[in-house]
Amino acid sequence: MLAIETPLIVILLGPPGAGKGTHAAPLSQHLGVPHISTGDLFREHLRNKTPLGNVARSFIDAGQLVPDHLVLEMLADRVRQSDCARGYILDGFPRTVDQAEALDKQIAEQSTVIAINFDIPDRYLVERIVSRQACKQCGQLYNTQFAPPAQSGICDHCAGSLYQRDDDKEEIILKRLEVYHTQTKPVIEYYSQKQGMLHQINARGTKTQVFQDVLKACEKTQVMA
Ligand code: ADP
Ligand code: ZN
């Protein structure tokens, strides 16, 4: 008999600074499916000054969400590419209940979906984010306080230069956290109502512990699927 595998979609939920981006990269390697960060996709549009980038810029710089229809169109385009056929990891999407519903109805049909919530109190987030840096060349994340590169300002992996995101300034972070609580928190509730789909992990553990928990959540679902 032919075994037909449905694509696996792993959704990483949690506030900005919870560690979704940090763990998405090794998880992508482990599962052999791409990591799709809507924030990264938008930053690419900003860099390339595309029409979408020009519209999205004002929302992103203000710490607000880009309107749902723009995000959905961008994501639908991305997941149509052939590397997503076996599944993918979503980081930064869905960020509203409407986005979650659209994912169910328009994008994730006939897929196995698992949502992993990175649970962490707000008080740890601002200090994590203000000291965050990313490599311009390969996207690797660093934290000048908690996970610094060997040489300040230079990527350990590719020697690219490190930069701080424009929206990682304290006053914009506070706005992003507020937006998270009002618009994105309800997404956790949305997945908690779907049997067996939501996995809670403690995002305050060490990097190794958190990654183990992420893998455990994925394994549970793959066994069930
Ligand atoms: P974070 O570090 O907060 O997780 P991201 O890199 O995921 O940030 O996103 C940066 C910005 O891009 C958000 O503040 C928002 O303006 C925009 N954005 C990213 N994903 C979405 C989405 N799913 N819906 C609306 N806006 C989004
Ligand atoms: Zn690099």
The pTM is what? Answer: 0.91
- Residues with C-beta atoms within 5 A of ion ligand 2: 135, 137-138, 140, 155, 157-158, 160
- Residue to mutate (ligand 1; options 22, 37, 38, 165; most atoms within 8 A of CB): 38
How far is 37 from 20, CA to CA, in rounded Å? 9
How far is 210 from 42, CA to CA, in rounded Å? 27
How far is 11 from 90, CA to CA, in rounded Å? 5
94 preceded by a cis bond (ω within 30 of 0): yes
In this predicted structure, what is the pLDDT of residue 4? 56
Q: Which of 170, 138, 130 is nearest to 155 (CA)?
A: 138
pLDDT > 90? residue 85: yes
pLDDT > 90? residue 80: yes
pLDDT > 70? residue 225: no
Q: Do 80 and 2 form a contact (C-beta atoms < 8 A)?
A: no
Q: What is the pLDDT of residues 167-224, one digit of tens each?
A: 999 899 999 999 999 999 999 999 999 988 999 999 999 999 999 999 999 988 765 5
Mean pLDDT, range 158-164, rounded to an integer: 96
Q: Which of 138, 24, 143 is nearest to 92 (CA)?
A: 24
What's the 44 CA to ligand 2 centre distance in angstroms? 16
pLDDT > 90? residue 108: no
Mean pLDDT, range 94-122, rounded to an integer: 94
In this predicted structure, what is the pLDDT of residue 221? 77
Q: Phi and psi for 86 in degrees, rounded to 5?
A: -90, -5
How far is 177 from 17, CA to CA, in rounded Å? 10
Mean pLDDT, range 12-39, rounded to an integer: 95
- Residue to mutate (ligand 1; options 11, 37, 66, 69; most atoms within 8 A of CB): 66
Which ligand sits nearest to residue 140's alpha carbon? 2
Q: Nearest C-alpha to atom 3 of ligand 1 is from which residue?
A: 16
3-state secondary structure of 91: strand
What's the 138 CA to ligand 2 centre distance in angstroms? 4
Percent share of the chain, pLDDT over 70:
96
In this predicted structure, what is the pLDDT of residue 81? 96
